[in-house]
Structure formats: C-alpha cells, structure tokens
Amino acid sequence: MNDFADVLEEAELQAGGMRAVDVDGVRVLVSRSEDGGVCAIANRCTHVGGPLDEGERDGNVVTCPWHGSRFDLCSGEVLHGPAREPQRRFEARLREGRVEVRVS
C-alpha cells in the first residue's frame, strides 16, 4: 500500500499536539511541531508495547507512560531506554486542510 491515508483534519492536530490514529490496522502517533510540520511514528512502544499517545510530550520527544523510554517524534530514534529499538517512522504531510500518513 503506497498511498497516503487521510487520518485527521488539520485543525484536530494543533501545534505541539499529538494523536494516535489507525492506518490500515497500524496504530500511528501523529504529531505536529511548533513550526507546523507533521511527523508520524508507530504508537506502540518497541520495548513492550506501551501506548505512546498516553505519554508526556516535551518538545519533539515523547516519553512512554509504562517504563519511561524516550523517543524522537519525527525520527523514532531512542533517546533513553529501556527500549533499544527505534520506533518505526512513517511519512506524514498536510494537504488541503487534512493530515495524511503513508504506511508502506
């Protein structure tokens, strides 16, 4: 599947916000930076599956609510364990007032 999926209205994702959405059965964490760009990574923590959308956001970093792993919201990189594997990242974009994500 190579197409972008329409996941949210742009207005539902304010600058500094993040939301979990379902894209073809994949839980994706979509976030918007202060400068308005959008990013998307897997919502299920690579440690043991914590829901990142229920964690705290600090700048472009999210902390998993279960054991405190920290991930970059755009690259998925692990900034602090116990997780060792990065979050999968996806392409995300704004188009005609909608947020779109490609899971491929």
- Long-range own/partner contacts, residues 15-22 (CB < 8 A, 24 or more apart): 16/57, 18/53, 18/57, 18/62, 18/73, 19/53, 20/51, 20/52, 20/53, 21/101
Per CB under 6 A, the list member of 7, 31, 50, 90 interacting with ligand FES is: 50
Per CB under 6 A, the list member of 83, 92, 99, 103 interacting with ligand FES is: 83
- Total binding residues for ligand FES by CB under 6 A? 12
In terms of CB distance, is 44 or 99 closer to ligand FES? 44
Write the binding mask 3 to 42 for ligand FES: x where contact by CB under 6 A, - elsewhere: ----------------------------------------
| Residue 45 lies near ligand FES (rule: CB under 6 A) | yes
Give buried/exposed letters for 7-43 (b at 16+ CB in 10 A, else e): bbebeebeeeebbbbebeebebbbbbeeeeebbbbbb
Q: Which residues would be at the binding site for ligand FES (CB under 6 A)?
A: 45, 47-50, 64, 66-69, 82-83
